[in-house]
Structure 1
Amino acid sequence: MYGDASVGARLDGLPLSRFHWRLLGLIAAGMYFDSFDIYIAGTVLAAMIHSGESTLRLNATFVSVTFIGMMTGAWLAGWLGDRFGRRFCYQFNLGIYGFASIAAALAPSIYWLIAFRLVMGVGMGAEIVVGYGTLSEFIPASWRGRFGTILNLIINTSLFLSTFLGWLIVPHYGWRWMFAIAGCGALVVWFLRKSMPESPRWLATHGRVEEAQCVVERIEAECGASPGLSPTAGTVASTVVQEGRMSDLFSRRLLARTITAVVVLVALFVVNYAFVSWIPTFLVQQGHSVSSSLGLTAVMFAGGPIGSLVAFSLAERLGRKWGIVLFSLVCAGFGVAYPFAQSATAIAALGFAITACIYVLSSFSVATYVPELFPTALRLRGSGVANTAGRAVSIFVPFAVANAFTHFGIAGVLALIVGTLLTQALIVGLLGTETRRRSLESIAADVAVPMGGMQTAGRPGNAPTAIE
């Protein structure tokens, strides 16, 4: 057995233990503050408008540079994480984000705040790529999907906390404290994360098999498991060193997976921003009072945690591929029915169902499925490309939604959402591969061909074979 396959088998054979939960906690903490900072933007910008420190145009610039930074961060995280390791990348990007948040709290003007926000966006965009990808490489195959849904649920609770703290803090102490909380929290997590190990799968893929085995042995000891068999000298010598290139993602064998990952994340961002971000505006435009619209919105958004729990229960039963297909179709069905809802109860019920489906899709796709699709040597680059495409499209979603609503009303917006969901169901159904309860090595073996930059470490005469 090759070095990295041996490492993967040993990681998948471990019993669930405190190590896995601590790893989840450390990754979730960093991503939580990342998400927290995204959601505080509305509160901060509203306060700056009220105080005369900003204008609507400058606020729009603030939002735009956030997306630009996140696109850049997602792209860079893919390259840095695959080239220099998961541990380096998640510490690097969290440090950037943390220090930039502290600087934002001290910004002398909105112009400086916009500049710091661009830097913060780089860290925020990188965190989502590295966090989900790193988690997938440590968790046993039988639990990988469920851990992804738990992480997704934890992260999304930041919406409530950011809104609640904004309500408590901003009117009395000003907007700067919101950035200070996010920055200090991120730096505390940065310090705690120094104890996290490098991914053994990444180490083995880059020919550092002895280091990988040492890390696995420490994890096995912490999990109370018997140490696995160390590789023989011949096994170590025949390990294939993989230095995948970005172009490999668009090779014949991986193109279908790259297309699937891009479609899945583009669809998620389109549906999320078209519905979740705009629903209060839709309700007001349909004649509901502001108070009524906010109340209905609160009921609808309660579907988010329920969706994550549904995903948790189905991740290892239904699977990711068919889960995405099924809930895309279910969500599309609710979307078709929504324009015909007349009573507040029907509107709230259908909105609740749509929100729950969106969170199921989020748990299945960005949190679990996309990182699983790519071999270790290209995992973060594949996720980075998909996230970059999703962020790029999300820049134009508000304009598409506004145009659809202006010309066709809520039915036009729902047509955009339903069309996106049906496209996703078709592409994933035709091109997607099922990853449920499969080792990452097994998933990668389906597309195992020599990739650009591979080298064989060790004695000549060992035929290089593509591995995970």
Structure 2
Amino acid sequence: MFIALIALAVFFDFFDLMLSGSVTAALLTSGWSTRELNVVFLSVTGLGGIISNLVAGALADRFGRRRVFRGALLLVGLGTLACAAAPRMEFLIGARFIASLGMAAVPGVGLTLMNELLPVAVRGRWVSASGVISTSSLFAAALAGYLLLPWGGWHWMFIIPGAGCLVLYCLTAVLPESPRWLATRGRHEAARQALSKMHIDEDGPLLALNTLERSGEAPVDRLFTKALVKPLVLGVVLAVGFNVATTGFLTWLPMLLLERHLSISNTLAYNLMMSLGIPLGGLACTMLADRISRKAGIIGAAVTALLLAAAFPFTSGYALIGTGFVLQVSMGVLSTLIMGLYLAELYPTNVRARATALSMATVRLVMVFLPFLLLTLLNVAGVVGVMAVVVICLLVIVFAMFLLGIETSGKSLDRI
């Protein structure tokens, strides 16, 4: 139940993030917004995410994963409902910034908590299963857009995730705190109680952490020690590469389809059909995550995705739908492996939230400027220019894993 609650929270958070493409495309065609205002809308999401990641990561390592996770959910819910009430585009942009202050923290802290709650034997399988739930948000957002946007129901696109986050805020009151985090703070009795709440009796391997892990809160400069340089660089490169590629294709897909001179109704229909690939990619990971190495899975999915991304601008009709669909399957696999599993596995417990947050804060910094770059490329080179960015990012992921990849499959979080 605990894993399902976290997965559902990430689902509504991702739904909120992924509705951007469909909503901005609909607002553009209706005359309610412009390309320039759409780019500002996307950019402030990244700006708020920088603040969210840096602050939430530090708070989660100091005050606990559960408290920060729930606070972020509350902020996303209230900010997104404010978006639904926006009377004009400028108000919508301001409310989006408020929501984004929690939006980046929900998956970052939530997935950290999830990884720390799960035993090593089932970590890959259960995180992947939760990834099926959370990545289904892309299909859900596309379906909602297909049903609601043609008649101007964009307000409901914000009401759905806003209300969902508020409900999950109430339900997640039953979540236990991370036993690993409690152990690093010296609160071993509380850690045992958390394990008991999870019906786990074997606490020896978990609580017998080494001296460094028992030292409690690590100073900020601990992130930049020699031992952590390699995983930190790898985490930043993977997070930036994946999220830029995802934004360039998934978030901008409706605008890319409009650029192909499709009507708004056909654009939403194509987007809906392609978006089925993301949860199927997560489902594939559920079956394979504990059977293949993380390195092989990430490299294989990235190579497949970059080949499809390179072909996407030159397809049309059913070939366009098929290419986009399989590309999203590959993206779904990468989402689960990189964002769901690998990033949290790279770092020790007492800096895990901050190190993961630093990786994601770098992503959000890039996201502030990325919409302006993609809009320029779209105006100058069309779909080819935007997809070139996607291909380059996926290529960077492949080389990073070959050169810096650390194998984490089947290893305890405290032994990697």
TM-score range, shorter chain: 0.7 to 0.9
Letter in 1 for 2:131: N
Q: Which residue of 1 aligns with 2:141?
A: 162
Between the aligned residues of both structures, percent identity stands at 35
Q: Which residue of 2 aligns with 1:441?
A: 414
Does the alignment pair 1:75 with 2:40? Answer: no
Q: CA deviation at 1:279?
A: 4.0
Comparing 426-435 with 37-46, greater Cα deviation is found at: 37-46
Q: CA deviation at 1:219?
A: 2.4
Q: CA deviation at 1:290?
A: 5.9
CA contact (8 A) 1:296 1:344 kept: no
Structure number with the higher helix fraction is 2
Counterpart-to-counterpart distance in 2, 1:49 and 1:408? 20
CA contact (8 A) 1:54 1:110 kept: yes
Does the alignment pair 1:144 with 2:118? Answer: no
1:417-467 Cα offsets, whole Å, 9 max, x none, are 333222211112221211111110111xxxxxxxxxxxxxxxxxxxxxxxx
Comparing 89-98 with 359-368, greater Cα deviation is found at: 89-98
Comparing 193-202 with 86-95, greater Cα deviation is found at: 86-95
Counterpart-to-counterpart distance in 1, 2:266 and 2:85? 37
Q: Which residue of 2 aligns with 1:198?
A: 177
| Runs (5+) with no aligned partner, structure 2 | none
The change in CA–CA distance for 1:277 and 1:43 in structure 2 (over 3 A counts) is closer
Q: CA deviation at 1:117?
A: 2.1
Secondary structure, aligned partner of 2:243: helix
Q: Which residue of 2 aligns with 1:268?
A: 242
The change in CA–CA distance for 1:202 and 1:29 in structure 2 (over 3 A counts) is same
CA contact (8 A) 2:21 2:253 kept: no
Give the total of aligned pairs.
416
Counterpart-to-counterpart distance in 2, 1:412 and 1:48? 23
Q: Which residue of 2 aligns with 1:316?
A: 290
TM-score (norm 2): 0.87
Q: Which residue of 2 aligns with 1:464?
A: none
Q: CA deviation at 1:196?
A: 0.9
Highest Rg: 1 or 2? 1
The change in CA–CA distance for 1:115 and 1:253 in structure 2 (over 3 A counts) is same
Q: CA deviation at 1:100?
A: 2.8
Comparing 92-101 with 82-91, greater Cα deviation is found at: 92-101
Letter in 1 for 2:368: I
TM-score (norm 1): 0.78
CA contact (8 A) 2:142 2:268 kept: no
CA contact (8 A) 2:43 2:371 kept: no
The change in CA–CA distance for 1:254 and 1:390 in structure 2 (over 3 A counts) is same
Q: CA deviation at 1:82?
A: 0.5
Q: CA deviation at 1:93?
A: 1.3
Counterpart-to-counterpart distance in 2, 1:113 and 1:402? 20
Counterpart-to-counterpart distance in 2, 1:334 and 1:321? 20
Letter in 1 for 2:171: L
Does the alignment pair 1:31 with 2:10? Answer: yes
The change in CA–CA distance for 1:84 and 1:407 in structure 2 (over 3 A counts) is same
Letter in 1 for 2:75: I
- What is the Cα-based RMSD across aligned positions, in Å? 3.3
The change in CA–CA distance for 1:56 and 1:299 in structure 2 (over 3 A counts) is closer
1:242 to 208, 216, 219: 216
| Runs (5+) with no aligned partner, structure 1 | 1-21, 444-468
1:289-342 Cα offsets, whole Å, 9 max, x none, are 666655554443332222222222221111222211222222233344445x55
Q: CA deviation at 1:109?
A: 5.2
